[in-house]
A and B are shown apart, each in its own frame.
Chain A
Amino acid sequence: MKRLFKYLKGTYLGLLLLLLYSPIAVMIVLSFNQSKSRANFSWGGLKWYYELFYESPEIIEALKLTLTVAILATIISIVLGTLGAIGIHACKKGYATMLMNLSYLPMTMPDIVTGVSLMLMFVFVNTYVYFPRGFVTMLIAHITFDTPYVLFSVMPKLKQMNPNAYEAALDLGCRPMKAIVKVILPEISPGIVTGGLLAFTMSLDDFVISFFTSESNNLSMLVYAAAKRGVEPTIYALSTLIFIAILILLIIINKRSDLESIS
């Protein structure tokens, strides 16, 4: 009886996985299809992969933009968010609560509202000084929604810290700057890594906010445009490559640490 239950549970999980993975599996299979048709499959080798790398400059451009924005936004939001967390932690209570609430705002706001509001502001600025919607505006938008994630990952680590450690360093003649680097930073670094990873994935995945704040396509915007046009097997090839990359990355992370701490 107990065994039967175990099998039933396993079957249930298997069915859900089937639901979650069948579209991805279909895409992987179709990326090797000879024709564009989805009804017939005949082996076409790496045809679409070749086209992806050599004949689709716009996809490669979008990939570059996505990665550049994600890396820059992650670095800047790590700096802003970590400094912010250290600052807020040392603030008076009223001011700290106000700043924390301010940080919740972009996280609870629907993406579309964030995107639209930033777009309105960027367009307004552009009427006075030349400020086109493109790389810079997208970067600003990404930093804005990334930074709270860093802040909220670092904050708990600061709270867990022994508050006397920093004071002790100062009493022993350490300059404040050095005390922060030598005492506080090592303690909060796991939080910084978690926050940075979150920020990076958020940035890679973003569609809605980028869609409104930029006119140059990132990967999501490109896929959206392609999806509206119809079948494009190069996108299947791209998805397959991205899927494999993420799979490998996650298996490595899972080997190294407890995944739940970063998920």
Chain B
Amino acid sequence: MKRSYFSGPYALWMVLFTICPMIFVLYYAFTNGDGGFSVQSILECLEPTTIRVFLRSVKLAFICTVICLILGYPAAQILASKDFSKYKLLFVLFILPMWMNFLLRTYATMSLLERRGIINTILERFGFEPLTLIGTEGAVVFGMVYNYLPFMILPIHTALKKMDTRVIEAAQDLGANPLRVFTRVIFPLSIPGVISGITMVFMPAVTTFAISRLLGSGNFMLLGDMIETQFLEMHDWSFGSALSMFMMVIIVLSIGLLNRIDPSKGERSGNW
């Protein structure tokens, strides 16, 4: 028996449970309720209401990614630095939340932000007016940042740790000031990690529906919410499928875009 036959069961499984289901999505996207060919659902994706939802999803995911990058990059750098890399447990503390169920984490943020939650209780104790925190875009972004920050820190940390420190020393010896060392040497060398971090934060953020549903109190829809609603509440599978295809296109486009920036094509600094 040839060794290559071992890939048989795997190939069969993947075709059966990833390719076949995609064909169903395609089928529903291009048919109407009676099963006849129709592009109506596809056209519905281009209507102003849908476009608004789409833009809001991208906006929130983008803000979340930027905040994660701004907060996460220095953290990754400090954790990888000589002073702190000896405390291995410290690094563990930063990625530990990744292992905690993400709904439990979101549930935890709810208890902070709610109308009668911890933040408002503290504010009232000190005589301030309670704030409306939950149900706002800010709350959703906070929830996303809180959930996805470790996913930004981890790959950047890995990239920085792998960096040849002699290159940095060489730049210093040749008279570059710290800012220049960072902009010309450290940052460019860490770009694969940054890209991997951006992917790991932006992708789940742009497709989420649980976070926006729980922290946005259903006040506004994101693309993920819209897909979920079409399938489980409106039972409009055709429009839901069209939206799913739409989302796939966004993901493929953004991955393509990110890969173009990535100088080390193919050999990505791994997520694990």
The residue that A12 contacts in the complex, of B78, B146, B228, B240, with Cβ under 8 A, is B78
Instruction: Tell me, yes or no, whether B234 is within 8 Å of chain A by CB.
Output: no
- Give the residues in chain B near A144, CB-CB below 8 Å: 13-14, 17-18
Say whether B4 contacts A119, CB under 8 Å.
no
Say whether A205 contacts B114, CB under 8 Å.
no
Instruction: Tell me, yes or no, whether A88 is within 8 Å of chain B by CB.
Output: yes
Say whether B79 contacts A121, CB under 8 Å.
no
Say whether A113 contacts B92, CB under 8 Å.
no
Query: In whole angstroms, what is the CA distance A87 to B5 when docked?
Result: 6
The residue that A254 contacts in the complex, of B11, B89, B158, B272, with Cβ under 8 A, is B89
Instruction: Tell me, yes or no, whether A224 is within 8 Å of chain B by CB.
Output: yes
Q: Tell me the dominant secondary structure on chain A's binding face.
A: helix
Say whether A23 contacts B10, CB under 8 Å.
no
In the assembled complex, how far is the CB of residue B157 from the closest CB belonging to chain A, in whole angstroms?
8
Q: Tell me the dominant secondary structure on chain B's binding face.
A: helix
Instruction: Tell me, yes or no, whether A9 is within 8 Å of chain B by CB.
Output: yes
Stretch at the interface among B96-104, B166-174, B189-197: B96-104
Say whether A212 contacts B99, CB under 8 Å.
no
The residue that B7 contacts in the complex, of A12, A84, A207, A262, with Cβ under 8 A, is A84
Instruction: Tell me, yes or no, whether A189 is within 8 Å of chain B by CB.
Output: no
Contact A119/B17 with A12-B75, A109-B248, A227-B106 known, Cβ cut-off 8 Å: no
Contact A120/B8 with A12-B74, A250-B92 known, Cβ cut-off 8 Å: no
* Chain B window 179-207, contacts with chain A (Cβ cutoff 8 Å), 1 for yes, 0 for no: 00000000000000000000000011011
Say whether B146 contacts A20, CB under 8 Å.
yes
- Give the residues in chain A near B17, CB-CB below 8 Å: 118, 121, 140-141, 143-144
- Give the residues in chain A near B244, CB-CB below 8 Å: 112-113, 116-117
Residue ID in chain B nearest A254 by CB atoms: B92
Say whether A39 contacts B121, CB under 8 Å.
yes
Query: In whole angstroms, what is the CA distance A113 to B17 when docked?
Result: 13
Say whether B92 contacts A251, CB under 8 Å.
yes
Contact A99/B103 with A110-B251, A120-B25, A263-B154 known, Cβ cut-off 8 Å: no
Which of the listed residues B10, B15, B22, B231 has the most CB atoms from chain A within 10 Å of its own CB? Answer: B10
Q: Which residues 90-121 in B have Cβ within 8 Å of A in the complex?
A: 90-112, 114, 116-118, 121
- Give the residues in chain A near B21, CB-CB below 8 Å: 114, 117-118, 120-121
Q: Which residues 118-151 in A have Cβ within 8 Å of B in the complex?
A: 118-121, 124, 140-141, 143-144, 147, 151
Residue ID in chain B nearest A166 by CB atoms: B3
Say whether B3 contacts A13, CB under 8 Å.
no
Q: Which residues 218-263 in A have Cβ within 8 Å of B in the complex?
A: 219-220, 223-224, 226-228, 231, 235-236, 238-239, 242-243, 246-247, 250-251, 254, 259-260, 262-263
